[in-house]
Structure 1
Amino acid sequence: MLDHLEDHERISYICRLLYEAYRLPVVWLNTEGETVQALHPLGQTRPPVEGVQGLPVEILEHIQSTANSGNHAAAAPLPLLCTTAYLENFVVLPLYGELEQTGSIVIGPSLYAPLTEENAGTLLRDHNIPPGRQEAWLQYYRNLPVLDRMRLYHAAILLYTLATGQALSISELLHDPQLLQPAQLKDSAPDLNLSYRRENTWLHHDPSQERELFRHIRSGDKNGLLQTHAGFNEDQYGLLSKKSQLRSKKNLAISSITLATRAAIDGGLFWEIAYTLSDFHIQHIEELKDIPAVDRALLAALCEFADHVKDNRRSKLSRTSALCQNFIFNHLYEELTLSKLAGVTGLNASYLSQLFKKETGFAVSDYIQRERIEEAKRLMELPGITLSDIATRLHFNDQSYFTKVFKKYTGITPKQFRHDRGIT
């Protein structure tokens, strides 16, 4: 593909092309791990970790292990996709064949999504970064480019194709036999543990019991859920942490909430509501300090999923109207029009308008207004948000129009609403 270029020109050209296409840092390292070429935007210097500055140690170790492996197979090595403990993403491609003596190309660092200062602070505390060094890391994260997972995969594929002249699919890129090896436990193995549990009749719960539990969530039947849950015996739960009973119980609770989330969505609950509930309950459980509190929190979470499904099912909407409501809920802070909903459902706008009003009792525009007022009420419960901010964020023309619509659906003005609740 680039055969007319000398090796050093070819690698330099590939690095420059990838940098210009993705605006990601690109580094060319020789076989000794020394930098031959480095292209990166300003302000992306990685703070030192344990005295090491520059590329993370795990990236350098991988490059070195590849160089020392002595594996000179006919097939080109695939790009390595690596996420560090600090959430930085890298693509590493050891060069082979006629380019083998030229080293490796490294793309990165980048992030899959922007890190808020709160999340970055939590991450840094997890790694025991002292407060005096955290600001340098926060500045580093602010300057890192953001590239979602799929675009990073395509950058890796482009790098591979430019360097080798060969095609590569995403499934081939992700098929790393080392990553797919099952974990080997030091002190036990699944087969031995299975034999031991059977010998002592310490069996896990019957899967039909679990299916019944989540069937009740799917149907919004809290009473049935409580009855089924009462039938679970404590000794039938698995052990998900050998070091901590509390950690094991939290892991079991998180697994149950994840399954409950899927069951609630299958039962018709808006997926954004379901995922938000899941996030809230998992975060709450992580903060708890004892096992009984985790047990109570899990049962409360399962019941809340069932209640939400029940409330959602009372409307008895068609799939089309439910899809519209879900879209409106998820995109309430954006411009919403009948034509946009028609595009989502694949129906004629006029027909959709008639169907939606017949089933919900609201014209589409009135339903959107009502939902925005409900969202406004939630925002007004929060400190530090002005009525003007709320009106702007929810796409009301001005604050006076917002007040007019708010009073239409609540009978009072926004100021009265806040006053009645003691919110200043």
Structure 2
Amino acid sequence: MRPITFHDLTHICQLAQSAIGVPLMIVAQDKTVLASYAEIEIPHPFSKSSHTSQLECFELESDVADTLVLQKNASLEQFISVQVTLSDGQNVCIIVGPCISYKLNRDALVSLLHDIGQSYDQPQFEMIQQYYDQLAVVDKPRLVKIGLMLYYMVYGKHLDVEDVVQKNTDVQFSDQVELNPDLTLSRKRQELSFHHHVLHEKNVLQCIKEGRKKELLKLTNQAPEGEFGLLSKKSYLRHTKNLSICAIALATRAAMEGGVHQEVAYTVSDLYIQAIEELQDVNDVQHIMTKGLAEFAERVQHDKSNRYSKPVKMCHEYIDQFLYEKISLNELAQHVNLNPSYLSQLFQRETGVTISVYIQQERVKEAQKLLRLTNQSLADICTWLQFHDQSYFTKVFKKYTGDTPRRYKNKYSII
């Protein structure tokens, strides 16, 4: 790809801004604003310059980053940036933002102002509210996609969205507290019970229980429908800590259900909750919560991987990949290069169930997802998952879930 000129870059930025509807600017390495597009109408209430809030949370490096950088400042404004080396050798940065991941209601805004030590009278509060009301609501997955689009327009290269999310999860957390759950097994344990957004919570906890870290990270970067209750009117930091502690406590249970030893799970829980309490920045709290949830999922996956022999793990992977196809014992035996009879005995000895029962259980789990998340008919689901008739499918489904497929869909469907 030919070196990009400043003229080229301004054209890219103009096109991008008109498509995304979020403010965008080009900044030099010394933080001089070289060009800006679609500036917000109401000025930032805490800054003398309209660009101060955008620039205060960025450290512009001299080398070109190989990924995107996500940032969120103390005022909960979020940004994404792409660094670019121009044809004349100058290093500049495209910054998209500010935007917010969700609308701030009055109580949340009052708590935020308390946390950042911002005094105000009624007219000032109304101006602050107007400022936040004008900001575009862009959740993290969409913001990442905007960054991916800009990166491709500049470099002509694809970035993997999961890599971008993972790198920013790892980088943004401020390591103020050492976390090593393997060093200490705490004797004191606690059991917590809290209310959460049900559907989002169930999906997150299921990912932890099954050790699916990548899917978990996608979910934690999506704002669920509706709003979480405000758990502290006086402090947005306290509210965020409380929500994070709720999440860690629930994740602890999910990890134990996924096979993590309870002493290990409680130790991870204790250390992350202690670390959350030590932090004084909302963004650090959110990042360490995500880090904690990811660790639980990793531990579940690690335990599952080490629990079974290689042939049994290969069977699990094969069944997962071809769940919608007919799967026979002979196919599996050929796949793992073992005698069918020996494989059958090995699988049952290690998992506690026969291969046919395991396949049934996995298909019922898949049917549950389809019933919750799609409008597909029972007949279609039954056929796709290789059940020979709907009556038999209903019998098997009820055996493992306690509900008929129709009753399950009525209870849990989100469509």
TM-score range, shorter-chain basis? 0.3 to 0.5
The structure that has the greater radius of gyration is 1
Higher relative contact order (CA 8 A, sep 6+): 2
Normalised by the length of structure 1, the TM-score is 0.45
Normalised by the length of structure 2, the TM-score is 0.46
